[in-house]
Amino acid sequence: MTITTFPLGGDLPVNRLGFGAMRLARNTFDGPARDPGTGRAVLRRAVELGVNHIDTAGFYGVGDVWANEMIRTALTPYPEGLVIATKVGPLLGPTGRPTGQAAPDQLRGLVEGDLRALGLDRLDLVYLRVGAAGGPGGESIGERFAVLAQLREEGLIRHLGVSNVDLAQFQEARSVAPVTAVQNAYADDMALLAECERAGIAYVPYFPLGGGHTPLDTTRLEKVAARLGATVPQVALSALLASSPSVLAIPGTGSVEHLEENLGASGLALGERELAELRG
Ligand SMILES: NC(=O)c1ccc[n+]([C@@H]2O[C@H](COP(=O)([O-])OP(=O)(O)OC[C@H]3O[C@@H](n4cnc5c(N)ncnc54)[C@H](OP(=O)(O)O)[C@@H]3O)[C@@H](O)[C@H]2O)c1
């Protein structure tokens, strides 16, 4: 398939195959810090290969190794058209694992922290990331989303998104301010995806490679990959993008080699036969 662009928020055209920055600083929440020099090389290569949508967060990092810092030092002055999306919500405990949710009055500080760390005057897209690691919590998010809507009114944020939400939380956010993107687990919330498609909202699944384990059937992926002379991650990403025109992929890696492999999915044409085979 040919990777097309998606008009994020109507005015920010991004390639549908982007990059997730979570793995730059460490490969798991408990893992050791990775080499920031390698992280910067990954970022520069991503932009060189056409990535113009980078997903990050102020809480991606450990010690003195942080994704936002790497993005600023590797990519400033930022190239024209590069869209950097961040998330606020989780608060980090001493081990670097998210331990709780920011209260409404803490969100402004988090947004200002992202602005500083990224060296920007305005953030292109900020998601309110709610719930826990296990999925959406179902709690009301209107008050917190209203704080972000206020920051948008003030010009600190261009577009708003929600992350790790269920359909009711998504609708609650939309009743407060326009929602440009939803970032949920690569999962089965088809009603939410359908609503995003209908409304022209981006659906950005996290763990597009299953967090290292593909969410698709490995045997089928391997078969299709072998026939097309492609790799399993490339077929998985191509299938993900083919699943809906609203889907944006943000595969994460701290490796230049894996980055190049993943971006190779943009040249991969999956036909009806392959897609049917992958669906099983
Ligand atoms: N909103 C949220 O709650 C939330 C939660 C999780 C993630 N996210 C966002 O979603 C992005 C993507 O998710 P993710 O990074 O967690 O998971 P992912 O993209 O599904 O998978 C990343 C994992 O796969 C490995 N990997 C990547 N490319 C590979 C390849 N070609 N061959 C073999 N292994 C490969 C990476 O290790 P290497 O680094 O060694 O390549 C890493 O362990 C994140 O970067 C982050 O921006 C958001």
Residue 146: its pLDDT value, please?
98
In the predicted structure, residue 230 carries a pLDDT above the cut 50? yes
In the predicted structure, residue 101 carries a pLDDT above the cut 90? yes
Per-residue pLDDT of 178-187, as tens digits, reads 999 999 987 6
- The Å distance, Cα 232 to ligand 1 centre, comes to 14
Tell whether omega for the bond before 178 is within 30 degrees of 0, i.e. cis. Answer: no
Residue 98: its pLDDT value, please?
79
Mean pLDDT of the chain: 93
Topology of the domain comprising 12-209+246-253: TIM Barrel (3.20.20)
Does residue 184 have its Cβ closer than 6 Å to ligand 1?
A: no
In this prediction, residues 76-86 reach a mean pLDDT of 98
For 131, phi then psi, to 5°, come to 75, -170
Per-residue pLDDT of 15-72, as tens digits, reads 999 999 999 999 987 889 999 999 999 999 999 999 999 999 999 999 999 999 999 9
Does residue 252 have its Cβ closer than 6 Å to ligand 1?
A: yes
Taking alpha carbons only, the member of 98, 165, 91 closest to residue 127 is: 165
60 is catalytic: yes
Confidence of residue 214 (pLDDT cuts 50, 70, 90): low
CB 26 within 8 A of CB 34: yes
- The Å distance, Cα 24 to ligand 1 centre, comes to 9
Question: Considering only CA atoms, which residue is closest to atom 29 of ligand 1?
Answer: 258
Helix or strand (DSSP H, E) at 19: strand 19-20
Residue 1: its pLDDT value, please?
44
For 233, phi then psi, to 5°, come to -60, -35
Q: What is the DSSP string of 211-222?
A: GGS-SS-HHHHH
Question: Considering only CA atoms, which residue is closest to atom 7 of ligand 1?
Answer: 206
Question: Considering only CA atoms, which residue is closest to atom 37 of ligand 1?
Answer: 253
Residue 86: its pLDDT value, please?
98
Confidence of residue 99 (pLDDT cuts 50, 70, 90): confident
Q: Which among 60, 127, 186, 203 is annotated as catalytic?
A: 60
Atom of ligand 1 nearest to the CA of 87: 1
- The Å distance, Cα 106 to ligand 1 centre, comes to 28
Does residue 181 have its Cβ closer than 6 Å to ligand 1?
A: no
Question: Considering only CA atoms, which residue is closest to atom 8 of ligand 1?
Answer: 206
Furthest CA-CA distance within the chain: 54
CA atoms 162, 21, 5, 193: torsion sign:
negative
Count how many Cα atoms sit within 13 Å of the Cα of residue 133 in the half-sphere of its side chain. Answer: 8
Question: Considering only CA atoms, which residue is closest to atom 47 of ligand 1?
Answer: 20
- The Å distance, Cα 207 to ligand 1 centre, comes to 6
Atom of ligand 1 nearest to the CA of 57: 47
